Amino acid sequence: MGVISKCDPNSIKKAAQALIDGNLVAFPTETVYGLGADATNEQAVAKIYTAKGRPSDLPLIVHLPSINEIDKWATNIPDYAKKLATLFWPGPMTLILKRDKHIKDFVSGGQDTIGLRVPNNECALELLKKFGSLGGLGIAAPSANRYKSISPTSAMDVWKELGNQLTSQDMILDGGSCELGIESTIINCLDSLPRILRPGWITPHMIGNILGPNFLQNDSRDSIKHSGSDLSHYLPKTPVMLNVPPLPGDGLIALSKIQTPEGVYRLSSPDTLESLASVLYASFRNADELRLNNIIVILNEIGGLAEAILDRVKKAATHI
């Protein structure tokens, strides 16, 4: 069973070596916890798919210590992608790029593309740097949950999700609760214009400020395979409903300005959308543990981060 260790220099050193040795290391990022393996080691990457119960044709994001490593993984990188990387990395953004010819199928689900991200979390960056100093090139890491379950935002959530899948050689690094709480914005950078595949903390408005107002080609017909594109995802066991009146026995997630009706359990009462995003998944988990009847999310805001939150809530509300 994977052991939980604090993110101190000694544990990070051990974790980097564990990755080099082909083991799994779950680690915090600013978005959610990732389940990491050496992205160049086929057996190690296969362990991720087994531990998660994830179909092998769903590609993994490769995490890098800095933008300088991008050319080792990707080729034909458009100028706009370089601009975004320079401005938003380290940060909650994943770029889908044409993969370099040396990169193997097993990390990219057989597609000729690669998802890259430099996370903005001290523990993750220290781990990536240490791993690099031991010869590692990148850490493949999906969210550290079972397939279709809720992404973990604490080390204990990782342990609850995957503890029984990990061996004594594997590790879970504990860096506390994730600051942002929802997964990175994924941007398809394969064409002349970027496309957002998964909304996140980096919003279309923020991207527009960099690339100009006509940057975005939103196309729902995008055929690229990414698990966030499944209709149902991020599923708590408790049914989730959006913008309906909560009844006694239900749990409520809403901004603090919304009152809690009699008999309803208030799961979270954040003041801002940022705070709502950061507690959303923990609130889902809490509702499951409390065995509430339903999770009701009230969110009438639109645009920006609200879109990313609504994307997750709608997927959680779709049980198919």
Confirm or reject binding of residue 94 to Mg ion (CB under 5 A): no
Distances (CA, A) of 170 to 5, 27, 153: 11, 11, 19
Asked if residue 56 binds ligand TXA (CB under 6 A), the reply is no
Decide if residue 194 touches ligand TXA (CB under 6 A): no
Report the nearest approach of ligand TXA to the CB of residue 135 (Å).
Answer: 22
With respect to Mg ion, which residue has the nearer C-beta, 50 or 133?
50
Q: Does 143 bind Mg ion (CB under 5 A)?
A: yes
Name beta bridge partners: 26: 35, 172
Q: Which residue matches tokens 């990707």? A: 74
Q: Which is nearer to ligand TXA, 115 or 236 (CB)?
A: 115
User: Which of 204, 251 has the CB closer to ligand TXA?
Assistant: 204
Cβ 224 to ligand TXA shortest distance, Å: 5
Taking the complex as a whole, how short is the minimal distance between the CB of residue 301 and ligand TXA, in angstroms?
22
Closest separation in Å from C-beta 227 to Mg ion: 6
Region 134-163 residues binding ligand TXA, contact defined as CB under 6 A = 141-143
The two three-digit tokens of residue 71, written as one number: 């050319």
Q: Residue 85 to residues 69, 70, 181: CA-CA distances in angstroms?
A: 11, 9, 21
Beta bridge partners of 113: 98
Beta-strand relationship, 113-117 and 61-63? parallel
Segment interacting with ligand TXA, rule: CB under 6 A, options 53-61, 237-245, 252-260, 274-282: 53-61
CA distances from 166 to 126, 145, 161 (A): 22, 12, 10
Q: Taking a C-beta distance cutoff of 8 angstroms, is the pair 174, 157 a contact?
A: no
Q: Does 114 bind ligand TXA (CB under 6 A)?
A: yes
> If phi over 0 gives left and psi between -120 and 50 gives alpha, with beta otherwise, what is residue 51?
alpha
Chain contacts with ligand TXA (rule: CB under 6 A): 29, 31-32, 34, 58-61, 94, 96, 108, 111, 113-115, 117, 119, 141-143, 183-184, 186, 224-228
